[in-house]
Amino acid sequence: MAQIHVIQRDGSKRTIEAPEGEPLMEALRDENTGVEGTCGGTCSCGTCHVYVAGDWQGKAGGRSDEEDMMLEALEEYVELRPGSRLACRIEVSNALDGLEVEIAPPVE
């Protein structure tokens, strides 16, 4: 298990436990952080958009072309930042123990 430090949409902070080998989206969704993951992790809805803290961006891996395209589609609805990621594309590992993410605003 990895501890993930989460800044929720209301600005409150909490720490959750995320199982190794699973997408971060599942842990965030299951812990009621505001992440919906309505597409089930197929990188097609953007409801798991998070901002990965600067120091963690390299450790969380790079974005795929598919993830870039989905984030670009969100750009007119929500702010994108250098750390913008889809949590369904971040696989939890021991290397991410202590990861800091902020839940992005919902797409409306």
Domain span holding position 40 = 2-103
* 108 belongs to a structural domain: no
Structure tokens at 33: 């952080």
Residue 10 has pLDDT above 80, yes or no: yes
Q: How many structural domains does the chain have? A: 1
List, for residues 38-75, the tens digit of each pLDDT value.
999 999 999 999 999 999 999 999 999 999 999 999 99
Tell me the average pLDDT across 87-99.
97
Q: Which residues of 78-91 are buried (b: 16+ CB within 10 A; e: fewer)?
A: beeeebbbbbbbbe
pLDDT of residue 107: 81
Give the span between the Cα atoms of 8 and 50, in whole angstroms: 10
Please report, for the domain that includes residue 21, its CATH number: 3.10.20.30
pLDDT of residue 108: 73
What's the sign of the alpha-carbon dihedral 96, 97, 99, 105? Answer: positive
Which pTM value belongs to this model? 0.95
